[in-house]
Amino acid sequence: MATATQDSKTNEQLKIADQYGAHNYHPLPVIVESGEGCWVTDVEGNKYLDMLAAYSALNFGYSNERLIAAATKQLNKVTLTSRAFHNDQLGPFCKDLCELTGYECVLPMNSGAEAVETAVKMARKWGYKVKGIEEGKAEVICARGNFHGRTTTIVSFSTDAQYRDGFGPFTPGFPLVPFGDVAALEKAINKNTAAFLVEPIQAESGILVPPDGYIRKVRELCTKNNVLFIADEIQTGLCRTGDRFAWQHDGADARPDAMCLGKALGGGVVPISAVVSSRAIMSVFNPGDHGSTFGGNPLACAVGRVAVDMIKNDGLDKRSKELGTYFKSKLQAVGATAVKEVRGRGLLIGVQIKENYPKARWFCEKFMDDGILCKDAHDDVIRFAPPLIIEKSDIDWAMERIGPVLMSASANG
């Protein structure tokens, strides 16, 4: 268990990071040195239960034997070829991912933001070359409150003031509609609309779950208007929400035209992302149109193949659904007056704190002192998203500490 007092090793590391690192993050003051399963150990030897899982990148936990073995084996063969040549891992990775997702074609990149940028380029070119939109006028509609990444193009369609402050001028062509509002989307669609890009659950905005049937209605509306439906499943996909992909909560007929994937795709070992779609849509790309030096590198693909196999065969979707229901019910049963709502799907859960209570960061710091690591989403939501391999006993252990902290908060405190 962690202690509230920071010792010399922690302070030394914090000073080094503060002196030499850019201050673009405000992490909790814990210095992780090692991890195994759902647990990490800091430089002082204190153990913590990780209930963030690197924003879902660590769905399989730390030091997973199969993933580490795949990485080690590939490290001793070849790690990078660039796309100037073929490598023996890329083709099989694309095949495995297509079989997992049910799509026909994969374009691999590195980060989630790169996957979204790829999807935007794909949608625009499809709009011009296939749908016949006048050059320079293609629009990709997005939802308010979205978080798709931090590139200059992507922050152009963010509604978070901090993500945009000081980074203009912004890229045009991204009308915004309220999240979960099908009528507003229908009104926004016009002859220049190439695509609608949306997260099935808005995680960064506070684990916002849309009304039942929303994704299915989006699918119907996009089909009716010859608009691509692109789901950003970078954080919600790969079993995080209790289904293999979060759009599946609305049924098989809600299938998007394309998905952006990332985070857990690399098993928490290496960065890898991808856009998956049909061959017809992806065929708008010609050699030289788009690429990445590290995209599809053999190391990432070798690890990604194991991650895909585990998603396909290890029952993590069922585990996420069952344990998520259990965890959410436990959080709701606390009955803390500070809590406005507990919401989410699977093991993606948000605890919203009432306005006149301490900010969510305060709770996260208290949890850290008790040996639990989690993260605030904006100022008022505590995000719990542990590795999908978490045990019921770990949740019980955490609740023995989470409950008292939630109950201890006082209004205007």
> Shortest CA distance to 111 belongs to which of 302, 294, 301?
294
Active-site residue among 263, 328, 366, 375? 263
CA 174, CA 221: separation in Å to the nearest integer?
18
> Shortest CA distance to 274 belongs to which of 93, 150, 66, 102?
93
Neighbours of 70 (CB within 10 A): 24
**Element spanning 59, H or E:** none
H-state helical runs in 45-89: 53-56, 65-75
The separation between CA 366 and the C-alpha centre of its own chain, rounded to angstroms, equals: 25
**Element spanning 367, H or E:** helix 360-369
Active-site residue among 93, 147, 196, 367? 147
Query: What DSSP designation does 175 have?
Result: -
Asked if residue 275 lies in contact with residue 259, where contact means CB atoms within 8 angstroms, the answer is yes
316-334 vs 392-408: helix crossing angle, rounded to 10: 30
Annotated catalytic residue 147: yes
CA 157, CA 143: separation in Å to the nearest integer?
8
Q: Is 369 left (phi over 0), alpha (psi -120 to 50) or beta?
A: alpha
Amino acid at the residue 35: G
CA 158, CA 62: separation in Å to the nearest integer?
32
Asked if residue 303 lies in contact with residue 267, where contact means CB atoms within 8 angstroms, the answer is yes
CA 313, CA 66: separation in Å to the nearest integer?
13
In the block, tokens 């090692």 appear at 34
- DSSP-assigned beta bridge partners for residue 160: none
Looking at the chain, how many residues does it have?
A: 413
Asked if residue 242 lies in contact with residue 270, where contact means CB atoms within 8 angstroms, the answer is no
Annotated catalytic residue 95: no
For CA atoms 139, 142, 144, 146, the dihedral sign is negative
For CA atoms 52, 58, 64, 69, the dihedral sign is negative
In the block, tokens 């998956």 appear at 276
Annotated catalytic residue 367: no
Asked if residue 230 lies in contact with residue 174, where contact means CB atoms within 8 angstroms, the answer is no
Asked if residue 379 lies in contact with residue 242, where contact means CB atoms within 8 angstroms, the answer is no
Tell me the catalytic residues: 147, 232, 263
